[in-house]
């Protein structure tokens, strides 16, 4: 009796090999649009912000220091004045963000 049931469940035709990869492809597409693409966009914006830095800009470093750029050097470093008479030298890539000056805030 059980033998007839086992024979009744015959396998179908050969499986499509592309069908097994469709979920993996969908996962990669979702990761691209939700994780990879936004991160690349943020990196591009940060790179352009670093390229537009000039003396007199107020910035925040990755370490949390606020200061004004005093001078910029050829070796991708800059001199940052964090208080009157106190200057530190940092690498350009350590700049986290540019702070809007009061005159720029009023103009907006």
pLDDT per residue as tens digits for the range 63-73? 999 999 999 99
Query: Tokens in use for 4?
Result: 């007839």
% of residues, the chain, pLDDT over 90? 70
Q: Residue 25 and residue 93: Cα distance in Å, rounded? A: 35
Q: Residue 76 and residue 70: Cα distance in Å, rounded? A: 14
What's the whole-model pTM score?
0.68
Q: Is 98 helix (H, G, I), strand (E, B) or coil?
A: strand
Average confidence (pLDDT) over 16-35? 89
Q: What is the pLDDT of residue 8?
A: 52
What range defines the domain where residue 47 resides? 15-52
Residues 106 and 78 in one domain: yes
The CATH number given to whatever domain includes residue 59 is: 2.30.30.100
- Has residue 3 been placed in a domain? no
Q: Residue 26 and residue 49: Cα distance in Å, rounded? A: 34
Residues 102 and 78 in one domain: yes
Q: Are 49 and 59 a contacting pair, CB within 8 Å? A: no
- Has residue 5 been placed in a domain? no
Question: Considering its fold, how many domains does the chain have in total?
Answer: 2
- Has residue 2 been placed in a domain? no
pLDDT band at 2, cuts 50/70/90? Answer: low
Average confidence (pLDDT) over 38-50? 95
Mean pLDDT of the chain: 86
Residues 48 and 58 in one domain: no
Q: Is 81 helix (H, G, I), strand (E, B) or coil?
A: strand
């Amino acid at each position: 009796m059980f033998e007839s049931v086992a024979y009744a469940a015959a396998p179908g035709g050969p499986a499509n090999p592309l069908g097994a990869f469709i979920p993996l492809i969908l996962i990669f597409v979702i990761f691209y649009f939700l994780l990879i693409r936004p991160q690349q966009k943020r990196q591009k914006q940060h790179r352009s912000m670093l390229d537009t830095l000039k003396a007199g800009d107020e910035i925040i470093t990755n370490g949390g220091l606020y200061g004004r750029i005093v001078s910029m050097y050829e070796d991708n470093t800059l001199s940052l004045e964090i208080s009157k008479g106190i200057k530190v030298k940092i690498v350009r890539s350590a700049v986290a963000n540019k702070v809007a000056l009061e005159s720029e805030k009023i103009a907006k």
